[in-house]
Amino acid sequence: MPYIIIVIILFFTFFYKQEVINEIKYVNRKTSTIETEKVAGEFYLKWLYYNPIGKISAKAIIKNRFVSEYYGKQMDKPKSKFKIPDFINKFGINLDESEKQYFDSFNDFFVRKLKNESRIIDLNEKTAVSPADGKILAFENIEETDSFFVKGKKFNLKTFFMNNEIYKKYEKASMLIIRLCPTDYHRYHFPVNGYVNADIKIDGNYYSVSPYAVKHNIDIYFNNKRSYSLINTDNFGDVVMAEIGATMVGAIIQTYQENSFIKKGEEKGFFKFGGSTVILFFEKGKIKIDSDLLSNSKKGLETQIYMGERIGEII
């Protein structure tokens, strides 16, 4: 009898899923239609974040940097390039946009550079642009995040910045979260013109940044590994640009020159294999975020966006 009970418990915990989100919906900005995201590793993400045993596994293993770094290193090995064709076919990657057509490893493909004409950068001095390809959430005031995340859960800026002076400056900030899926272009660029300071690095966990994980666990953003820098601008005040590590992200690589003048659209760095996130913080009253991005976010929907695409303008 005890064995039967044990089997039933194991069966239940393995197959039980707390289906908070069945699928990830987003708005295609070009067509204004709602579409369903094709998620790499969807079954495992649901199991890890909705299943009781999966949650234990996520806490014990997935958040650990050694697992993510190990897998990232595997993606650097030459034999990993044999994964590329299936990945391209399954997720419809447009390789015509890429400077290279042949790759030495999966990570070589993953961090590929695009041809200049593949992304059009809005160069109007009064606008800010998306720093990356991905799905974007926009909040005019950081305190409004429960329109997407669990009600009552707030983005903990103090923990995120680990710097009291910066935290106080952005308490009422406008915030834009750009989530990069494993299927996205994984280089990120500056959203504005200005002078960029040295990067501030903070160690942390490696939880997934998929909506399956963060919709009910907003603290992932301010507990995961991250880095951020301040961009001093003439039009937008001081803008914070942050990069968040996540499950299976081998590394956050900065390629920009610290303490230098930069132009909108210039590369800041790239993520090695995995899903990741870029977050922008604008001082209160410095940016008028595009209305469609705000409206979609209030409805609990991300908006598909591309690097260089307008996200707002100066007030």
Cα 242–chain centre separation: 10
Give DSSP secondary structure letters for 13-42.
Answer: HHH----S-SS-EEEETTTTEEEE---TTH
Q: How many CB atoms lie within 10 A of CB 162?
A: 14
State both tokens at 225: 């590994």
Is residue 189 part of the annotated active site? The answer reads yes
DSSP 269: E
Map residue 227 onto helix, strand or coil.
Answer: strand
Map residue 92 onto helix, strand or coil.
Answer: coil
Closest-CA residue to 181 (of 75, 79, 276): 276
Contact 157, 228 (CB under 8 A): no
> Beta strand 25-28 with 302-305: parallel, antiparallel or unpaired?
parallel
Is residue 133 part of the annotated active site? The answer reads yes
Annotated catalytic residue: which of 105, 130, 276, 297? 276
Is residue 199 part of the annotated active site? The answer reads no
Q: Phi/psi zone of residue 152: left (φ > 0), alpha (ψ -120 to 50 degrees), beta?
A: left
Annotated catalytic residue: which of 189, 208, 290, 297? 189
* Torsion angles phi and psi, residue 89, rounded to 5: -70, -40
d(CA 188, CA 269): 6
Annotated catalytic residue: which of 105, 130, 133, 297? 133
Active site residues: 133, 189, 276
